[in-house]
Chain A
Amino acid sequence: MDLDIVDLSRLQFAITALYHFLFVPLTLGLAVLIAIMETVYVMTGRTIWRDMTKFWGILFGINFAMGVATGVVMEFQFGMNWSYYSHYVGDIFGAPLAIEGLMAFFLEATFVGLFFFGWDRMTKVQHLSATWLVALGSNFSALWILIANGWMQNPVGAAFNPQTMRMEVTDFFAVLTNPVAQAKFVHTVSAGYVTASLFVLGVSAWYLLKGRHVPLAKRSMTVAASFGLAASLSVVVLGDESGYQSSEHQKMKLAAIEAMWETEPPPASFTAFGFPDREARETHYAVHIPWVMGLIGTRSLTQEIPGINQLVDDAEGYIRDGIDAYDALQAIRAAKTDAEIPAEARQRFEDKGARMGYALLLMRYVDDPRHATDEQIRQAAMDSVPPVGPLFWTFRIMVGLGVFFVLLTATFFVLSARHRLDAHPWLLKVAVWSIPLPWIAVECGWIVAEVGRQPWVIEGVLPTAMAVSNLGAGTLLLTIAGFVLIYTVLFVIEMKLMLKAIRKGPPHVSEPHLSFYQPMIDKLARTR
């Protein structure tokens, strides 16, 4: 197997996933914000809320189209670039994707058309229902994709079947209620809400600075600040829950994020700053905050969090178990009938089969893990450490930004409550300049989750290097270039259209004093 193909396949997946994830969080959050605005319109009858719904709806539409377009790529890519993965775990992983289509995509895609085209064809309540169904659909889709991703991080409810050479589901309920998936879902969805809130906040702040569309901007800011404050608190709390889950299910990821090389006596300290050095296996210029890591990771003062070095030693043991399981598997497969399978091999596979994935880490060095030398086993154990430096930094950027979002939304929440949103122009400028920050945070979050799982594509079960399709490097370069080209052009167009729509502002803002007559006007318009 050529290493290049693995790297190129990973590069393509990372490019397309990170790009797709530029649009998803805004869709998730803006759908809910718009639905809230329209609800206020339907409940109060004040047309400014309908104008807000329509205006933010235009921006939502531009973004939604890009999310749909880039989302199809994600679903097809598993089969295209990760065919062994698709075979190996399709029995479990495919189900949430299919359910996502059945339960979520149909809902959002069918009703999004009515959102844009149905204003004059439906009653207010019908249209509001369509809007909420779009919001519900996009959030359901996040649920199912994170159940799928949660299973990659913590593969519960499945076992390897020697007859079919793949993982098969044993307990679907466990897959659904995977604690990792639950924490990830709320964390990710909240991150989407924060992204959309800061987007609405920032754009509205820009209008206030320019003195344009002031009533619309102020109302939008009020919604965004309150919703954003709740969401950013939820992001931080559920981020903590994710960390706690990692300490249980993905100890290596946690240790790498912390650049914690040695196991410390509990409660472990948190490294606020430093330069992790993989070669020397230490973190230079580290600034430690005592106790914090132990408290976050284990929620206790006595439980130990294992360091990287200890986890590598553990991995070496797992690899040796895995080789044993692999050997037993070959004996099972060599048997022609069930009766011929040696009971000893069956027993050995039952005992150690769960560690077989670790033997597959050796496939980079040997064709048959049983022939691996001690040196190679040591090397494969070292490979179980994800890239410490990038994880250390992306995690800290993400957390730092998360705390900033709480402060920012809280500030605007207070300003809004006191009707002083435009009192401090410098704060409005901060809000405008903060628009890109949630995107930085969510992309960092993706890196922490996915790079942190390396070298595994399914934690402890299937190494990423094994999962790829046997494609030519030239073919992969061609499609990478194709995606980069299409995505770059579309990104430029999308940004231009977004900025144009924002500059243009809401198409026709109804004057507040007209709102009294608006229900009559609406009625006339419908009967026309």
Chain B
Amino acid sequence: MILHELISYEVLRVIWWLLLGILLVGFAVMDGFDLGAMGLLRATARTDVERRVVINTVGPIWEGNQVWLILGGGAIFAAWPQLYAVSFSGFYLAMFAILAALILRPVAFKFRSKREEPGWRNAWDWVLCLTGLAPALLFGVAVGNVLLGVPFRLGDDMRIWYEGSFFGLLTPFALLCGLVSLFMLLMHGAAWLVFKTEGEVSARAARWGGIAAVLTSVLFVLAGVWIALGGVPGYAITSAIDPAGPSNPAAKTVAVTAGAWLANFGARPVLWLLPALGVLLPLLSLLGMRGRREWLALLSSGAAIACIILTVGAAMFPIILPSSLDPRVSLAVWDSSSSHMTLFIMLVCVLIFMPLILAYTSWVYRILRGKVDPVAIATGEGHSY
């Protein structure tokens, strides 16, 4: 097969770097609102009917949303195998905690409604709430650690040696990133609840969403200031590197210097738009939630999440996963991808299936449009959670 030569290796790598970002944004925006909404389950809903209203806002769709994460994992495996290998094995216990949450979440949705006892339902409500909050926090902590650099090195045979621990992940900066992630998903979840519910539940969601939106902006600025003041040194490739060369991360040199994460913004000032929107859009979402401009609230919280995630990508390019132990082997766009042919084949698959996915997902959302009706929930005949 020589078809893959149609697109150069270098261009394919950049496309897949962008797709990596798009998939992460896709996950955070799509699964983000149901994680966030469940995180607010106990705060926004008091009675059983209210709780069921909140759960049913995401009931028919959370499963599809979670596939964004699964696809993200699969796409990283296929397009950036070394990134998949280092991050998943390095963040082992954090990944386990996320998995535990993702195991308990589906069953909590399904099992909660199967019995009437308040104790049973209350217990599963707690599970839904915590399994919404924990991944939101942990994904942010992981991103924080990526910015800080991850303590791994590569052997001659590319075997990975990771020399960190779970508690080593919980540094102040990483926790700050965790909180940014947590509050941005809570904001998004609140915007979703404002969008899908009425009355008391919707009002409570707007209040909590406002708080989360302000905290998102403030903490995001704080993280930026932390980096600007040199608290988090950045990584930059210092040797010549062939963007179309073989994927061997050990063939370059990398320098660690304060402020290096801001270098891309200096070189291309237009990139400052991303962090600027990341700060402003949460506030717009807040206005939307307060003023009952539901579409505005939801779209701007989604866009805020996208801008915050893309800010991280813009800061780090072309580094993807820096190594604090041996900066030389930091994984970069140019030296940790799959082969030319695999990237091409996977791109073709994405181009075929992504439009289909978006089409039928929007069809499903259209079918399910409208507010969740508490009366229908209360009298429902087992068709809802």
Q: Report the separation of the CA atoms of residues A70 and B102 in the bound assembly, to the nearest whole angstrom.
A: 9
Q: Are B78 and A90 in contact (CB under 8 A)?
A: yes
Chain B residues 364-384 with CB under 8 Å of chain A are 364, 367-368, 381-384
List the B side residues contacting A475 at CB < 8 Å.
92-93
In the assembled complex, B66 has its CB within 8 A of some CB on chain A:
yes
Write the nearest CB–CB distance from B318 to chain A, whole angstroms: 18
Known contacts A84-B85, A475-B93; A109 and B64 CB within 8 A of each other = yes
Known contacts A65-B106, A113-B61, A507-B382; A102 and B81 CB within 8 A of each other = no
In the assembled complex, B243 has its CB within 8 A of some CB on chain A:
no
Write the nearest CB–CB distance from A340 to chain B, whole angstroms: 15
Residues on A facing B (Cβ under 8 Å): 58, 61-62, 65-66, 68-73, 75-76, 78-81, 83-84, 86-88, 90-95, 97-103, 105-107, 109-114, 116-122, 126, 133, 161, 163-166, 168-173, 469-471, 475, 478-479, 482, 486, 490, 493-494, 497, 500-501, 507-508
28 contacts between A and B (CB under 8 A): A62-B111, A68-B63, A71-B70, A72-B102, A73-B99, A75-B70, A75-B73, A83-B85, A83-B88, A84-B85, A87-B82, A87-B85, A90-B78, A95-B342, A97-B74, A98-B74, A99-B346, A105-B67, A106-B353, A161-B339, A164-B158, A164-B246, A164-B339, A469-B89, A470-B89, A486-B100, A486-B103, A493-B107
* Identity of the chain A residue whose Cβ is nearest the Cβ of B69 in the assembled complex: A72
Residues on B facing A (Cβ under 8 Å): 1, 59-64, 66-67, 69-71, 73-79, 81-82, 84-89, 92-93, 95-96, 99-100, 102-107, 109-111, 114, 157-162, 246-248, 338-339, 341-342, 345-346, 349-350, 353-354, 357, 360-361, 364, 367-368, 381-384
* Selected contact of A169 from candidates B93, B111, B158, B339, CB within 8 Å: B339
List the A side residues contacting B70 at CB < 8 Å.
71-72, 75, 101, 105
**Extra A-B contacts (7), CB below 8 Å, given A84-B160, A106-B357, A117-B383:** A73-B103, A83-B160, A94-B74, A114-B60, A114-B364, A117-B384, A486-B103
Q: Are B75 and A98 in contact (CB under 8 A)?
A: yes
Write the nearest CB–CB distance from B2 to chain A, whole angstroms: 12
Q: Are A102 and B353 in contact (CB under 8 A)?
A: yes
List the B side residues contacting A508 at CB < 8 Å.
381
Q: Report the separation of the CA atoms of residues A202 and B9 in the bound assembly, to the nearest whole angstrom.
A: 56
Interface of A is mostly: helix
List the A side residues contacting B82 at CB < 8 Å.
87, 90
Q: Report the separation of the CA atoms of residues A78 and B74 in the bound assembly, to the nearest whole angstrom.
A: 10
Q: Are B100 and A482 in contact (CB under 8 A)?
A: yes
Q: Are A69 and B102 in contact (CB under 8 A)?
A: yes
List the A side residues contacting B61 at CB < 8 Å.
110, 113
List the B side residues contacting A470 at CB < 8 Å.
89, 159-162
List the B side residues contacting A80 at CB < 8 Å.
88-89, 92, 95-96
